[in-house]
Amino acid sequence: MEQNSENRAIQDHYAEELSHCYGCGRLNPRGLKLKTYSDGEETVSVFTPEACHTSVPGFVYGGLIASLFDCHGTGSAAIAACRRRGLHPGRDPVPRFVTASLKVDYLRPTPLSGALKLRGFIKVQKRRKVVVGMTLTAGGEVCARAELTAVEIPEGMRP
Amino acid sequence: MEQNSENRAIQDHYAEELSHCYGCGRLNPRGLKLKTYSDGEETVSVFTPEACHTSVPGFVYGGLIASLFDCHGTGSAAIAACRRRGLHPGRDPVPRFVTASLKVDYLRPTPLSGALKLRGFIKVQKRRKVVVGMTLTAGGEVCARAELTAVEIPEGMRP
């Protein structure tokens, strides 16, 4: 990939009509705007929750954690598909994946006290289906783990 | 249960210090305020997404769906624990459950066009652990299915 596109998140390369996602769409004014980057063989995102994203006071809401995994997983699948197909984000159209299933294990309460770091790695890759493993770390501790099955967006879901 | 408490959601009976959840806390001014009710042996919630809760235009964001299952699942676990322990919400303190794991299967794209209905049923119940099966229906079609393992809130997580 070119230096320039390496520095931008995969979500910044999604087609405009597929960039309204609440979790990661650059065109959703009220959304979370998660950004997923390549990092060697893996992928990484960083997200800092707001005070409202609480479960019980002091801890991060599990639904937010699932949301971050959702968008980091589909973004990781898009990055993996680009690599496999020899596509260069920024030059070529980027494939868009959606979630078929998501399993989250909440290993310990996640402190609501700063940045959360997500890492992703590819477990299985087929042409239009990618299984992504992920971790969510807060303050150096892995607080949640996930596995997401992503599929390339079906025709009937395209705007 | 008394007629009066039957008409209120389980979340409206959570202790004040445990009612700040982004997904279902009555005291979170920016949250979703999901409400879970008993319905015979099952549980039910209804939630109408806003326009911002999109994935690709026309469809509901998967992270929102996971969030609704998260709070409907823990609410269903609290209802089940009340029944088993002979507790009457509104009169007795209500136990509070948190999510240990959540698996969501997105069966078909969920249309962003009105109310979503969640149903829950108890699959396994132990003293401090409850496994809840759930469905999410839109326009009469089941669009997603989930299984959630809830555990009673650990001491270290209490405010």
CA distance B70 to chain A (A): 6
Per DSSP, chain A holds a count of helices (H) and strands (E) of: 2, 6
Q: What angle do CA B143, B44, B145 make, to 5 degrees?
A: 25
The DSSP secondary-structure symbol of B154 reads P
**Torsion, Cα of A3, A152, A36, A5 (10° steps):** 10
How confident is the model at residue B6, as a pLDDT? 57
- Nearest-angstrom CA–CA distance, A149 and A159: 22
Where residue A11 sits, what CATH number does that domain have? 3.10.129.10
Query: Which residue in B18, B101, B141, B155 has the most chain A C-beta atoms within 10 A of its own C-beta, making it the best mutation to test that interface?
Result: B101
**CA separation for the pair B102, A65 (Å, rounded):** 11
| Residues A48-93 pLDDT 10s | 999 999 999 999 999 999 999 999 999 999 999 999 999 999 999 9
pTM of the model: 0.96
Nearest to A22 among B18, B21, B54 (CB): B54
Of A27, A59, A33, residue with least CA distance to A46: A33
Neighbours of A113 (CB within 10 A): 13
Would you say A133 and A91 are in contact if contact means Cβ atoms under 8 Å apart? no
d(CA A52, CA A124) in angstroms, rounded, equals 35
Q: Do B63 and A62 touch (CB under 8 A)?
A: no
Residues of B in contact with A54 (CB under 8 A): 20-22, 25, 28
Domain that holds residue B89: 3-157
Q: Contact B101/A103 with Cβ under 8 angstroms? A: yes
Residue with tokens 């992503």: A150
Which chain A residue's Cα is nearest to B156? A109
Give CA–CA dist B30/B21, Å, rounded: 10
pLDDT at A2: 38
- Quick: pLDDT tens for B10-69: 999 999 999 999 999 999 999 999 999 999 999 999 999 999 999 999 999 999 999 999
Q: How many domains does chain A have?
A: 1
| Contacts with B52 from chain A: Cβ below 8 Å | 22, 28-31
